[in-house]
Amino acid sequence: MENILDNEYKSGFVAIIGRPNVGKSTLLNYIIGQKVAIISSKAQTTRNKIAGIYTTEEAQVVFLDTPGIHKPYNSLDEYMEKASFGALNEADAVWFVVDATEKRGGGDNFIIERLKKIKNTPIYLLVNKIDLIKKKNDLFQAISSYTVDSLDWSEVYPISAKSGEQVNA
């Protein structure tokens, strides 16, 4: 563990945000290599930030899995929204995860508007569930819907959190 004291050792926080059921927890579990976040088809399973730590000899990254962001209808929803957006203040980078099988909608636009207020933090777009896309043109259209009239993303990655496709990139 001598490297931790070395100036070249890197560490940081990555906030994983997105609407409910886009695969944020599945992605965290894949990266960490074990089930640290609950995965369910039921929306709002994640109700608090969950931290997963990925460590190598060169770096340590703390991933903050956040509750799915949607329009708050009650005080629990408001609490979860604050937890999700609060993670942005702690992050050195933000991963905005979207579902490639769903069209960009009002919930995505709401999150994008909040992300536009973040300064000096790289924001990555992760287009998840590419394993469910049958035609390449459909994937291209999904990515285009988030890259046209949107944010200037640091990078865009089409991935499958479930199968691990492109996640290592």
pLDDT digits (tens, 9 = 90+) for 30-51: 998 877 655 445 544 444 556 7
DSSP, collapsed to helix, strand or coil, labels residue 14 as strand
pLDDT digits (tens, 9 = 90+) for 104-133: 999 899 889 889 988 899 999 999 999 999
Tally of CB atoms within 10 A around 31: 18
pTM for this entry: 0.80
pLDDT digits (tens, 9 = 90+) for 138-168: 999 999 999 987 889 999 999 999 999 999 8
Domains of the chain: 2-158 (3.40.50.300)
Which helix (H) or strand (E) is 136 found in, with range? helix 136-147
